[in-house]
Chains A and B, each alone.
Chain A
Amino acid sequence: MSPVLKPLEDLRKDFSIFSGLDHRAPNGHKNWKNYLTGKSTPSISFDQIAAKAIGEQTRFESLQVTCGSFGDSLMSFTKEGIPLPAIDRPSVLYKHLFSSGTDKARMDYLLDSGGSVLDLALDEASTLQREVTNRDAAKLDEYFTSVREVEKKLQKRREWLKVPTPKVDFQLPEFDPVAPDLSLECESIMYNLMALALETDSTRVISFLLPGQGQVFTIDGEKLSAGYHGLSHHGNDPAKISEFNRVGQEHVMRFGNFLRQLNEKKDIEGKPLLDTTAVLFGSGMGDSNTHNNSQLPIVLAGGAFKHGAHHDIDRENESKSTPLLGDLFLTVLESMGLEEDSFAKANRNMNDYLL
């Protein structure tokens, strides 16, 4: 097992490693974003496909989380290709999930008064429709349909307001560690909150982006010699690679702690949370040094799949049956009860590897 994954040693039977998977999608600086979409043109991401299918059942259809504000830290997209904003501060995520009191009161007020706003809007539209031509009336129909849909959504949110937010035993730090150099600290806190979010069934779909930009990390009291981005463009300098991997290990360590929490917690049906949660850990870049997006590093944990192995997909002797990363996504989606035929260029699955 790669030394970077050392912190996961004791969890070996709970995860699978994949080498050689990717989307056969364009390389290049900006194209790491196709990690969850499989394509470079705007399209729905893997997590949002799941969210659309199962999101109805929880207070939040999905959560997007990151550590600190780095601009352009967005990897989840709607079906129209619109990036979903991510929560970047622990205090904000905590409030979002577990708030009560004044914020709830305002939310309730807006939803309640929203009813009369939409009533008046529909009233105006009815009057208007009597004044316009046939062709315009047909277009106005879109307005009626949309307003009624929004009414339903608001109603649902009001119902959720009545459901008390879960009580959790969690101590937020006094200060949000959002400064770039503290992003590893922020990461730990976010993982804790995400575990609680899953445990309380606040949501069943989360995407978490770990920023890798200019941060100069301090690990074990030692400041690294360069910013993360500089380390990622190591030019094969062994000293830089070594520091780069130390950061990698720090991420893996925190990921391991997250898995351990899921192992200990139970979901709302009393089953071990890790068994009922599929966790994908990876990157949209195969070789950051050259901005190459093929052969991505992928770890899949949980979800009651068959784990413990390292699947090294042969790319030298590629054939029609060589799986793509999208095939892995399809297996995960299938295990959640969805029936998707394809994901970007993938149209089979990896059930043989994982079931």
Chain B
Amino acid sequence: MRHLLLPFLAVHGLSQSHAAPEPLPDLAYDFISEYCINCHDDDSAKGDMVLDGDSINWSDWHDAERWTKVHAMLESGDMPPEKEDQPSATERAALLDWLDTTLTENVQPGGTVIRRLNRQEYEQTVSDTLGIPFSVPNSFPPDTEFHGFDNIGEGLILSPPLMEQYVHLATAAADLLLPPAKKTKEIASQSYPIGPGDFTLNFTTGHEIDGILRMVDSRAPLARSSVWPNRFEARASGIYEVEVDLSAFKATQGHVPIVHLLARNTANSAFQKTYELKTLATFKVDSDAPQTFRASVSLERGETVVIHYENGPVAGDQVWVQTGQEKTKYEAYIAQLLLDAFREDPALGAAWMKVGYERSFRGWSWWDKIEKALQQGDLDVASFDPESPEVKAFADQMSKRGTNTVETIDCMHFFKGPGVDIHQMTFTGPTRLIDDEATLAQKKRTGRFLKGRDGRDDRSYTQATLRPTLDKAFRRPVSDAQLEKYVSIALTHIEKGHSFEEGLHLALRASLCSPRFLFREYREGPMDTFDLAARLSYFLTTGPPDAILRKHAKEGTLNDPAVLEAQTRRLLQHNKVKFFLDSFTGQWLDLRLLPQIMPDTRLLNWTEKDLDAITAETELFVSEILRENHPLETFIDPDFIYLNKRNAKLYDIKFANTEEMTRVEIPRGGLRGGLLTQASVLMATANGVDTQPVLRGAWMLENIFGQPTPPPPSNVPAIEPDTTGAKSIRELLDRHKEDASCASCHLRIDPPGFALENFDPIGRWREFYPVYEKKGDKIITLDGLPVDSASVMPDGTPLADALDLKRYLSENIDIFSRCLSDKLLTYATGRPMNYGDHKVIERVVADVAAQGNGFADLIVALVQSESFRNR
């Protein structure tokens, strides 16, 4: 046992101003005795709530939480339960008044529990601190979500498997800065002959015939056009001599095939595009007799060489894929290839049309059938007219089969030409070893880190090198005592006979395992400028403070409200704000859940691209509101929307046939536009198959209204949607009105839920619930019961449909502003908001509303508030 550890130290709240517990005043004591104590004494402890004390101990956060809950329950009318004795309006008001006063006085905004860096923050912090390209492996444990976010102090656990990763990755990170000494191995130059049968082929990228390998396809994805050696990859980064014997095959009319050699890492996907790879050599194959082409190429370890025919007879997709016009233009291209071939050889056309196609026909299996038809000879070539509408229609049909048809066109060209024939390929090398790109980058980094010794001894050189790194790693200037520990571990290591670099390496490993690196926001008392800089930076960039912020922290200027505002606005316009938007929006609006929801295939042919579209729509929307500082009302009722053909289809909006997300202006007060009716939100609040008004309503309350509801009592079963259409969901849920214990929450949950019932599980508008019937082996959709979206808000406002809901929120925008502020502060401070925080939020929301209600302004105001500045 190396250390004596006392896990529960009796540290009394050093920063708390109250020492003695506050005794309950008579009014409170009497109230509780009459209306609460029967269920909430120590014995019954209903709902885990015990109220039989006679004082409140404000230094114990449990007490603060308890009395905050008492206030909430009394204020909403949830307590006492309807069937119990009720206090008079005056009694209730008096108690609430007292509670409000004492809670406001005693519950200071704050209370964040020490926060471990989450996965994203850890990755960015290691990268930025050491200046290395660092990322965590797939096996890195995911974070636990708490109060809706993955960066809440209380929720982030440090488990042994995670610690093991930290220890392991600390070495990996240190290696990127100070790599272990490598013995330069002598790698002898070798020759690798590669014959036509030794290439990796995909689909119809090559055809072995008459002792050569023939290529005809020029498309961009390697797996559609290119070949590369099966058994050659560079064993070491270096220069290699390449020889390729190539000849042109049936290159008519002055066509000169051009061949490129490309470098490819063997571990990468075969669907990489040629334009993503480095071109090593260009050859003009201008003879139909084999010529030897030579090149000296530099290859990184693990790379091989791809052969690509640049200007062959079958090509065309790159440009169109890149400009998003892929389908229509490419189909026209394929049809043209076919028609041209049919014009040249009508017998081929006749044969191809005779064979027709089945779903599984592609590549060689289809070509073999066509060849057979040609050989059989009983074709009506005379009446085959390539200009006729029938043949044109056939070509169009075949073009829609995309790559399946193109592969067979490849087969045709293997015999018709033009093509490039590969006779032999040889590699010799490495003739010289070189540093690969990664090594070159690392040498630069190491040089920057170590700088010059300048005649200093081990101790002073170590101190000078470690101090700035530890300042960054711990996000505050390292104390002399602390620095000494790290210098010691390095020097001791050097004394044992290890190199100077190894000593530093060890100190770096230790610093990345230190709790001062892995945790933040733990210093007692008000946050100093270093804590503030870190909190601001992790809030808006999920990364550690940059040089400018660090400077303001060190000089103490960050405490100046003008500086704090300027820095906040600087970060909001920084390109790293995308990390904030991604993380915050993805969690607040549950965008991260979307990939797991599999929509019912009876609804729609759902693809990844549809998912991408609806996610992008919301992300672009929120990003614009932030960037342009639009007023918060924009979230609910904007005058713009982001569309591409996919979400436009869901919304029944006529739109151009493009995948590109486009900003479109729309009139306010319409159905679409705004978070409430975005497909992403509507999908995240359903399960892909059915909608559940209670789930949607509860989600709205939690994330838009800021009035979260407790879970249902455990004896309530989930409602199985009655898909025979006999009972409407409303009838099934009418229980809510009858049972008093249900009504209290459902009066609030049901209205927004029903208002959104006109949207199906993927956000499309519907007037009727669908009923599915089997007709043969198909399933058809019929209209079932009509959707009834009318409801009444708890304050009596009637809502006919989603438009009314939108209007309600627009007119009471502060409800949303408070909710959004709660979410932002929870995310920023890593804790749920307490009573004091809620008072702060009310004030901030009012202030910001009076000054134009801008989203960026809201964030600035929240950063300036006590909730953000207190721990």
Q: What is the interface of chain A, defined by CB distance below 8 A to chain B? A: 26, 28, 41, 69, 71, 78, 80, 82-85, 102, 106, 110, 113-114, 116-126, 128-147, 149-150, 153-154, 175, 177-182, 214, 216, 223, 225-227, 230, 233-237, 239-240
Q: Which of B1-18 contact A (CB under 8 A)?
A: 2-3, 5-11, 13-14
Nearest 4 pairs between A and B by C-beta?
Answer: A235-B360, A146-B163, A149-B160, A237-B360
User: Is B485 part of the binding interface, using a Cβ–Cβ cutoff of 8 Å?
Assistant: yes
Alpha-carbon gap, A343 to B361, bound state (A):
41
Alpha-carbon gap, A182 to B199, bound state (A):
10
Question: Are B164 and A153 neighbours in the complex by a CB distance under 8 Å?
Answer: yes
User: Is B516 part of the binding interface, using a Cβ–Cβ cutoff of 8 Å?
Assistant: yes
Q: Which of B470-520 contact A (CB under 8 A)?
A: 482, 485-486, 489, 492-493, 506, 509-510, 513-516, 518-519
User: Is B158 part of the binding interface, using a Cβ–Cβ cutoff of 8 Å?
Assistant: yes
Question: Are B203 and A181 neighbours in the complex by a CB distance under 8 Å?
Answer: no
- Provide the residues of chain A in CB contact with B519, threshold 8 Å: 140, 143
Which of B158, B268, B362, B522 meets A132, CB within 8 Å?
B522
- Provide the residues of chain B in CB contact with A137, threshold 8 Å: 7-9, 11
Which of A121, A131, A132 meets B514, CB within 8 Å?
A121
Alpha-carbon gap, A177 to B322, bound state (A):
34
User: Is B142 part of the binding interface, using a Cβ–Cβ cutoff of 8 Å?
Assistant: yes
Question: Are B522 and A145 neighbours in the complex by a CB distance under 8 Å?
Answer: no
Contact (A116, B515) CB under 8 Å given A136-B113, A142-B158, A180-B200: no
Further contacts, 6 of them, CB under 8 A, given A83-B139, A143-B515, A179-B230: A124-B482, A131-B524, A179-B228, A214-B202, A214-B270, A225-B365
Q: Which of B45-69 contact A (CB under 8 A)?
A: 61
Contact (A132, B510) CB under 8 Å given A110-B171, A145-B160, A223-B201: no
- Provide the residues of chain A in CB contact with B20, threshold 8 Å: none
Contact (A124, B514) CB under 8 Å given A85-B138, A146-B162: yes
Q: Which of B201-254 contact A (CB under 8 A)?
A: 201-203, 208, 223, 228-231
Contact (A138, B8) CB under 8 Å given A132-B114, A235-B359: yes
Alpha-carbon gap, A247 to B137, bound state (A):
33
Which of B61, B183, B266, B359 meets A135, CB within 8 Å?
B61
Most buried by A among B9, B171, B229, B513: B513
Question: Are A129 and B9 neighbours in the complex by a CB distance under 8 Å?
Answer: yes
- Provide the residues of chain B in CB contact with A181, threshold 8 Å: 200-201, 230
User: Is B556 part of the binding interface, using a Cβ–Cβ cutoff of 8 Å?
Assistant: no
- Name A's interface SS: helix
- Name B's interface SS: loop
Which of A85, A131, A142 meets B159, CB within 8 Å?
A142
Alpha-carbon gap, A214 to B2, bound state (A):
56
Contact (A117, B509) CB under 8 Å given A80-B142, A110-B171: yes
- Provide the residues of chain B in CB contact with A122, threshold 8 Å: 2-3
Question: Are B485 and A123 neighbours in the complex by a CB distance under 8 Å?
Answer: yes
Alpha-carbon gap, A84 to B139, bound state (A):
6
Question: Are A113 and B160 neighbours in the complex by a CB distance under 8 Å?
Answer: no
User: Which of chain B's residues has its CB closest to A28's CB?
Assistant: B598
Closest beta carbon of chain A to B14's beta carbon, Å? 8
Closest beta carbon of chain A to B764's beta carbon, Å? 22
Question: Are B138 and A82 neighbours in the complex by a CB distance under 8 Å?
Answer: yes
Alpha-carbon gap, A134 to B15, bound state (A):
13
Please encode chain B, from 694 to 714, with 1 for each CB lying within 8 Å of some chain A CB and 0 for all others. Answer: 000000000000000000000
Closest beta carbon of chain B to A128's beta carbon, Å? 5
Closest beta carbon of chain A to B303's beta carbon, Å? 13
User: Is B534 part of the binding interface, using a Cβ–Cβ cutoff of 8 Å?
Assistant: no
Most buried by B among A78, A124, A227: A124
User: Which of chain A's residues has its CB closest to B359's CB?
Assistant: A235
Which of B14, B141, B201, B361 meets A80, CB within 8 Å?
B141
Contact (A178, B266) CB under 8 Å given A128-B522, A133-B13: yes
User: Which of chain B's residues has its CB closest to A241's CB?
Assistant: B360
> Could you pull out 14 A-B pairs where Cβ atoms are within 8 angstroms?
A41-B596, A113-B509, A116-B489, A117-B513, A121-B514, A140-B519, A142-B157, A146-B163, A150-B167, A177-B231, A181-B230, A223-B208, A235-B359, A235-B360
Which of B180, B203, B267 meets A69, CB within 8 Å?
B267
Most buried by A among B359, B489, B515, B596: B515
Which of A126, A128, A139 meets B153, CB within 8 Å?
A139
Alpha-carbon gap, A351 to B104, bound state (A):
66
Question: Are B230 and A182 neighbours in the complex by a CB distance under 8 Å?
Answer: yes
Question: Are B114 and A120 neighbours in the complex by a CB distance under 8 Å?
Answer: no
Question: Are B269 and A71 neighbours in the complex by a CB distance under 8 Å?
Answer: yes
Alpha-carbon gap, A131 to B268, bound state (A):
49
Contact (A139, B114) CB under 8 Å given A82-B139, A128-B522, A181-B200: yes
Question: Are B510 and A117 neighbours in the complex by a CB distance under 8 Å?
Answer: yes
How many A-B pairs with Cβ below 8 Å? 194
- Provide the residues of chain B in CB contact with A227, threshold 8 Å: 202-203
Sort chain B's interface into a size bin: 35 or more
- Provide the residues of chain A in CB contact with B157, threshold 8 Å: 142
- Provide the residues of chain A in CB contact with B167, threshold 8 Å: 114, 117-118, 150, 154
Which of A133, A141, A239 meets B7, CB within 8 Å?
A141
User: Which of chain A's residues has its CB closest to B486's CB?
Assistant: A120
- Provide the residues of chain B in CB contact with A118, threshold 8 Å: 167, 513
Question: Are B138 and A120 neighbours in the complex by a CB distance under 8 Å?
Answer: no
Alpha-carbon gap, A106 to B183, bound state (A):
13
- Provide the residues of chain B in CB contact with A41, threshold 8 Å: 596
Question: Are A139 and B360 neighbours in the complex by a CB distance under 8 Å?
Answer: no
Q: Which of B172-202 contact A (CB under 8 A)?
A: 180, 183, 200-202
- Provide the residues of chain A in CB contact with B158, threshold 8 Å: 142-143, 146
Q: Which of B267-318 contact A (CB under 8 A)?
A: 267-270
Alpha-carbon gap, A126 to B3, bound state (A):
8
Contact (A120, B142) CB under 8 Å given A132-B114, A179-B266: no
User: Is B257 part of the binding interface, using a Cβ–Cβ cutoff of 8 Å?
Assistant: no
Closest beta carbon of chain A to B146's beta carbon, Å? 13
Question: Are B515 and A128 neighbours in the complex by a CB distance under 8 Å?
Answer: yes
Alpha-carbon gap, A144 to B8, bound state (A):
13
Most buried by A among B208, B268, B509: B509
User: Is B105 part of the binding interface, using a Cβ–Cβ cutoff of 8 Å?
Assistant: no
Question: Are B514 and A26 neighbours in the complex by a CB distance under 8 Å?
Answer: no
Question: Are B114 and A85 neighbours in the complex by a CB distance under 8 Å?
Answer: no
Question: Are B514 and A233 neighbours in the complex by a CB distance under 8 Å?
Answer: no
Alpha-carbon gap, A80 to B7, bound state (A):
27
Alpha-carbon gap, A235 to B167, bound state (A):
51
Contact (A240, B360) CB under 8 Å given A143-B158, A214-B202, A216-B201: yes
Alpha-carbon gap, A136 to B267, bound state (A):
45
Question: Are B598 and A128 neighbours in the complex by a CB distance under 8 Å?
Answer: no
Question: Are B489 and A120 neighbours in the complex by a CB distance under 8 Å?
Answer: yes
Alpha-carbon gap, A328 to B61, bound state (A):
51
User: Which of chain A's residues has its CB closest to B171's CB?
Assistant: A110
Alpha-carbon gap, A175 to B203, bound state (A):
25
Alpha-carbon gap, A165 to B6, bound state (A):
42
- Provide the residues of chain A in CB contact with B83, threshold 8 Å: none
Closest beta carbon of chain B to A35's beta carbon, Å? 18
Closest beta carbon of chain A to B658's beta carbon, Å? 26
- Provide the residues of chain B in CB contact with A114, threshold 8 Å: 167, 509
Alpha-carbon gap, A122 to B3, bound state (A):
8
Which of A116, A130, A154, A239 meets B365, CB within 8 Å?
A239
- Provide the residues of chain A in CB contact with B200, threshold 8 Å: 179-182
Closest beta carbon of chain A to B192's beta carbon, Å? 9
User: Is B364 part of the binding interface, using a Cβ–Cβ cutoff of 8 Å?
Assistant: yes
- Provide the residues of chain A in CB contact with B201, threshold 8 Å: 181, 216, 223
Alpha-carbon gap, A181 to B228, bound state (A):
11
- Provide the residues of chain A in CB contact with B10, threshold 8 Å: 134
Alpha-carbon gap, A68 to B5, bound state (A):
49
- Provide the residues of chain A in CB contact with B489, threshold 8 Å: 116-117, 120
- Provide the residues of chain A in CB contact with B524, threshold 8 Å: 131-133
Contact (A26, B598) CB under 8 Å given A117-B167, A117-B509, A177-B231: yes
- Provide the residues of chain B in CB contact with A175, threshold 8 Å: 231
- Provide the residues of chain A in CB contact with B513, threshold 8 Å: 117-118, 120-121, 147
